[in-house]
Amino acid sequence: MDWKTITEDLKGLEPRLDAACRKLWDEDRGSAVPVQAVAGEIKIVMNRAMQALAELGAAAAKKEEIAAHAADCLKKNSLDLESELRTARDRIEKLSNEISSGREAANQAASGRRRLEAELKAEKERAAALQAELAAAMTRAEAAGKEAAAARETAGRVSAAVPRLEEELKAGKENSAALRNELTAAKVRAEEAKRDAAAAREAAELASSASGSIEKELKAEKERAAALQQELTAARDRAEAARRETASLQEELARTKETHLKADAQKDADLVKKLETFTAEHDTKERELEASRASVFETLTAEQKAQQSEFQSRHKALLEELQANAASIEKAYTQKEARLLELSQRITDELQDREANASALEEALRTQAARISASAAELEKDFETKMAEIEAFKRKFLEERPKEEPGVQ
């Protein structure tokens, strides 16, 4: 049974006692006095019981209020801890993003370094290709030198052949001179033959038989002179052809020598110029690349060191802050938990005491209510007895009244 129901029952019992006391007072004042005294004691006990029940209700309400306050405190502490935990998670996520950004910057620096290394490798390959081209040009220059040497050798052979041709020409001239001498001698012999012929003609008459042989001999000498003339002409043609061939060979040798010398000089100049340009460009690019690589490496190294230092300092600060926050939160939570445990223990003890008191009071109230009920039942029984006696007395009184006053209607 609830204490509110008991309170309502007790409040409903009080007017019933008052009504019974007033009725008993109206009917029998002498008997009503002790009943009213008992009713007053019952009212006092009922008021005490109602006060105790009110205190018990207040204690229960206080218990509910304290439980609600404890729940609110726990909820608030949970919300505060969740908020701090979310803040810490946000900061950790922010630091993780910064770490990711640092890693991306490091990856970009590494990719830049790899790109520079690739460019350096490409420049080295280009330098190797140019060196190979230079080697090929040197090979071509050596081949041109060999060709020039071969041309020089050819020119040497031609130069060596020139004296031989000159000797042949000289020999041809000597042969021509000899042929001229022979021709002259033949002419002289022809003149002599003519003179002999004239003499023969003079002696033709003397020796007609000898004239045929002399004509034959003259004819043979003429044929020999014509053959010598043809041989002299052929020797002159050969000498002129040898002279023209020698001049052509000398001109060709000069042209070839000049062409080869100019080509070799131009090739050497172009090669030297190209080599100097390539060497200058290669040296410039190598210096620029080395400077750029050193600058980029130093920049990246400095940025990486700065980022690592900043990350380490931030990480250290964050760890310290998280540790401090965790320690303070743990300390505050421990204190709050201790306070809550103490408050809960106190409330529990107080509630146990109040429950014990309430139980005792309830037991006392039950006992008192039982006693009051018993008293009320006894009073009601007495009241009924009294009422029965009063009724009996009233009937007796009414029955005896006509005998005592017969004239009264």
Predicted confidence (pLDDT) per residue in 57-92, tens digit: 777 777 778 777 767 776 776 677 677 767 767 877
**Distance from C-alpha of 74 to C-alpha of 337, rounded to nearest angstrom:** 9
- What letter does residue 133 receive in the DSSP assignment? H
pLDDT at residue 179 greater than cutoff 70: no
Predicted confidence (pLDDT) per residue in 259-282, tens digit: 777 777 777 777 777 777 777 777
Secondary structure (DSSP) of 288-337? HHHHHHHHHHHHHHHHHHHHHHHHHHHHHHHHHHHHHHHHHHHHHHHHHH
Predicted confidence (pLDDT) per residue in 98-134, tens digit: 767 767 766 776 777 677 777 777 777 876 776 677 6
Predicted confidence (pLDDT) per residue in 29-38, tens digit: 676 677 777 7
The pLDDT mean for the chain works out to 70
pLDDT at residue 154 greater than cutoff 70: no
Secondary structure (DSSP) of 154-221? HHHHHHHHHHHHHHHHHHHHHHHHHHHHHHHHHHHHHHHHHHHHHHHHHTTTT-HHHHHHHHHHHHHH
pTM of the model: 0.29
Q: Any idea what the Cα angle at residue 152 is, between residues 148 and 154, rounded to 5°? A: 115
**Distance from C-alpha of 120 to C-alpha of 285, rounded to nearest angstrom:** 9
pLDDT at residue 155 greater than cutoff 60: no
